[in-house]
Amino acid sequence: MNFTLDEKHNLLRARVREFARSSVAPVADKYDRKQEFPMDNFKSMGKLGLTGLCIPEEFGGAGGDHLSFAITAEELAVACASTSDILNAHLALCTEPIYMHGTDDQKKKYLPALAQAEKVGAFGITESEAGSDIASIKSTAIRQGNYYVLNGTKVFITNGDVCDTAIVFANIPVLGKRGMTAFIVETGMPGYTKGRKYDKLGMRAATNCNLVFNECSVPVENRLGEEGQGMSICLSILDYGRIGIAAQGVGIAQAVLDKAVPYAMERRQFGIPIGNNQGISHKLADIFTQLEAARLLTYKAAWLADRNEPFSLYAAMAKLTATELAMKASIEGIQIMGGYGYMMDSPMQRYFRDAKLTTIYEGTSEVQRMVISRFLLRP
């Protein structure tokens, strides 16, 4: 077993880290406070090849692998978890699914613009009565000649207010319980509008809104996969997305350490650095140890995906471990920094707010435990 990254991945990490430190980190708080999508940085990610990282060069992508994506998502999250989330929704949940499940015509039509950040991608499955239970979606798609007519509302859609292209799921009623089907929906299609923008606790620069479909006409050629394949497509997409969310958790926990360790060495109480206090040093030791475990789980999930081996279990374990750690680390980070960590001009409060969402979206921690326990308890 080789736990050493090759030169290609080390060079990618260095390149993304430099971009994250020089371009993303300096404006992270500004975009967070304004709840504004960082379009300039999104376009810059396109120039760096990040928005098409896992897409082959023939479709305008960089031809990278999922380990490259995990490394990229991690490094971006150290600087700004919202930016990492934006990339995950765009690449793992919209662009790559078109490559994996789309027709040749769909790939040629949509992938180059998405891969090069000329357009923003999104993913629409969640509804007011269908969160963890995605089978309960109420949106419908009824075929009328060369079109499907979509009706329904998707909620909490990351990139929703700025997206040009979205993968949207709806039920075809005549197929009954097996009717979930995926569609590629473009902004400007008749009957498609964007609803209210959400005021979120964290990940505030990864802006969200509702996607509303009222007699929306979607051409038959925009169906992704066959009728009734929506559930299998959705679950496969979420597996890849969970690698990205796990990497976000790793990045947030790393950001906490990057701030807490120097502070513990510099801040003095009772005549000594607070890091000399066992109550502080052991907190840092636990975060550091658990961070390495979370990173290895995340990289293994990505490595298995790149080898076309089953990786759903490892994606679930990685997301559970990394995101729960991000929440724990951010709480401890605030505690270590005390009053300074609790101030709004400290990045620690942003790590705390961002970390909470990672334990909720793309499958809550409870859902990840369901996935893992089902593997353990299967006949």
pLDDT in tens, 305-350: 999 999 999 999 999 999 999 999 999 999 999 999 999 999 999 9
Taking residues 83-102, report their average pLDDT: 98
Examine residue 138 and state whether it is found in any structural domain, yes or no.
Answer: yes
Cα–Cα dist 51/251, whole Å? 18
Domain identity same for 142 and 254: no
Q: Quick: pLDDT tens for 352-364.
A: 999 999 999 999 9
Asked whether residue 257 is assigned to any structural domain, the reply reads yes
Boundary residue ending a domain (120, 145, 176): 120
Residue at 2 is within a domain: no
Is 362 one of the catalytic residues?
yes
Note whether 226 and 242 are same-domain residues: no
Task: Provide the residue range defining the domain that includes 62.
Answer: 7-120
Q: Using the Cα atoms of residue 85, residue 86, residue 92 and residue 93 in order, give the sign of their dihedral.
A: positive
Last residue of a domain, one of 230, 265, 293: 230
Contact yes or no for 252/354 (Cβ under 8 A): yes
Rg (CA), the chain: 21
Provide the number of structural domains found in the chain.
3
**347-358 helix and 25-34 helix, angle to the nearest 10 degrees:** 70
CATH number where 265 lies: 1.20.140.10
1 in a structural domain:
no
Are residue 67 and residue 193 in the same domain, yes or no? Answer: no
pTM for the whole structure? 0.96
Please say which residue of 203, 230, 257 terminates a domain.
Answer: 230
Q: At what angle do helices 230-266 and 347-358 cross, to 10 degrees?
A: 150
Q: Are residues 345 and 312 in the same domain?
A: yes
User: According to the model, what pLDDT value does residue 2 have?
Assistant: 83
Number of H helices, E strands in the chain: 13, 10
C-alpha to C-alpha distance for 95 and 165, rounded to whole angstroms: 9
Catalytic residue among 118, 129, 362, 366: 362
Q: Per residue in 158-201, pLDDT tens?
A: 999 999 999 999 999 999 999 999 999 999 999 999 998 999 99
Query: In terms of domains, do 170 and 216 share one?
Result: yes
Q: Burial, 369: exposed, middle or buried (Cβ in 10 Å; 0-12, 13-18, 19+)?
A: middle
| DSSP of 24-63 | IHHHHHHHHHHT---HHHHHHHHHTT-TTTTS-GGGTS--
How far is 245 from 224, CA to CA, in rounded Å? Answer: 24
Task: Report d(CA 157, CA 207) in Å as an integer.
Answer: 8
Q: Tell me the percentage of the chain whose pLDDT exceeds 70.
A: 100
Residue 200 counted as domain residue? yes
Residue 150 reports pLDDT greater than 80: yes
Task: Say whether both 295 and 186 belong to one domain.
Answer: no
Domain identity same for 241 and 373: yes
Domain at 139, CATH number:
2.40.110.10
